A = this chain, B = another copy of it.
Amino acid sequence: MTEGPAAGPRFVLGVDSGGSGLRVALARVASGSAAEPCGVVASDEPVPTTGGGIDAGRLVARLLPAARRLLAEAGGSRVVAGCVGAAGMQTLGGRLRAELPEALATGLGARRLVLAADVVTGHVGALGGRPGAVVAAGTGLIALGLDGHHWRRADGWGHLLGDCGGGSWIGREGLTAALRAHDGRAGGSAALLARVEAVLGPAAGLPGLLYPRSDRPAWLAAFAPEVARCATAEPPDPVSVAILRAAAGEIAATAAAVCPPVAEPVIALTGGLLRLGEPLLRPLREELAARLPAATLVPAAGDPLHGALTLAARAAAGPLGLPEEPGLLSVHEVPAHDGRVAAR
């Protein structure tokens, strides 16, 4: 493996590992910025988590063949730097930090490896490393802010402790309102009850449908589109409108908690919850304008895989120019002729 300056194109590797699968991308770099990826290998199968955390061996075993295939297709033989963004990096990433740098140095020639939490690759993908706040809203909800010196997180506590305003939160509120109507309790929604009965069957059967499942948050979140549907019916269901207004308030409060104190902050929203569309986005713009009047809502420039490639390209060129924090973002260097790893 060549250790001197590379002749021809220089490549970086980006990896996005999460609950919905594993994606590996290769990109050419030019003057420190990643070009569009020259190839992507995607799999729906997540990397398993064992008692010891994310299984580094299984990740490497899937990553190396994919990377080598992409390199061969692009006419390259090694990568100068890589970035692995992974869900659970903070709490479950111990083995990745211990094993991945050397494995990628040995297997792909990558002497610099960035390890990042998925919220960080999401932030860099959305805002390209600029200061600002990124809200990732899907089944759960988490926000990450960057002020140039620090990352700041809010929520992301899961469906029983937070994720306020996310998909499972909206779905749970909708189902609860349907059952209020079923019982004759105050605050119920006959419209939502009708949708429950149409898509899930008799209300009495709901506990038996939900509680035996292991993917309860996702099951709850699957009802969120019904809330949006009732909120835009003619006439609109006022309970559904209120649920989405409350969700918008929660999302705006979470964004405000991490938004950097700069003159004109930018905020990007990412994730599947945006597919609820205007019934959520209209109150969300209003709530954001009320809480963060100076902020500009911008479209996300790219996704977490794009963010991983950006971080890898920055690492290939020199310092990241972003705050490194244990578990959130770290750069690992493997000296030439020596397998030892140094975390900077």
Contacts and interface: CB of A to CB of B under 8 A. Distances in A.
Nearest to A153: B183
Contacts of A211: 158, 160
Report which residue of A179, A220, A258 has the largest number of chain B beta carbons within 10 angstroms of its beta carbon.
A179
A207 interface: yes
Interface string A138-166: 00000000000000011101111110100
Nearest to A255: B185
Given A184-B257, A256-B186, A161 B154 contact: no
List the number of copies, as a whole number. Answer: 2
A210 B157 CA distance: 11
A254 interface: yes
Nearest to A249: B186
A331 B227 CA distance: 43
Given A183-B254, A257-B183, A257-B185, A206 B157 contact: yes
A284 interface: no
A155 to B, nearest CB: 6
Nearest to A164: B176
B91 A185 contact: no
Contacts of A162: 176, 179-180
Contacts of A256: 185-186
A162 B196 CA distance: 15
Contacts of A186: 253, 256-257
A48 interface: no
- Indicate the member of A160, A172, A206, A211 with the most B CB atoms within 10 Å: A160
Given A91-B208, A208-B91, A160 B172 contact: yes
B253 A185 contact: yes
Q: Which of A153, A175, A184, A208 has the most CB of B within 10 A?
A: A184
A206 B175 CA distance: 26
A339 interface: no
A206 B155 contact: no
Contacts of A258: 183-184
A256 B149 CA distance: 54
B206 A253 contact: no
Given A184-B257, A253-B187, A175 B153 contact: no
A95 interface: no
A58 interface: no
Contacts of A179: 155, 157, 161-162
A219 to B, nearest CB: 9
Given A184-B257, A186-B256, A254-B185, A161 B208 contact: no
Interface of A: 91, 153-155, 157-162, 164, 172, 175-176, 179-180, 183-187, 206-208, 210-211, 216, 220, 253-254, 256-258
The list of the 4 closest CB pairs from A to B, nearest first, reads A154-B183, A184-B257, A186-B253, A185-B257
17 contacts: A154-B183, A155-B179, A157-B179, A158-B211, A160-B210, A160-B211, A160-B216, A161-B176, A161-B179, A161-B206, A161-B207, A162-B180, A183-B254, A183-B257, A185-B256, A186-B256, A186-B257
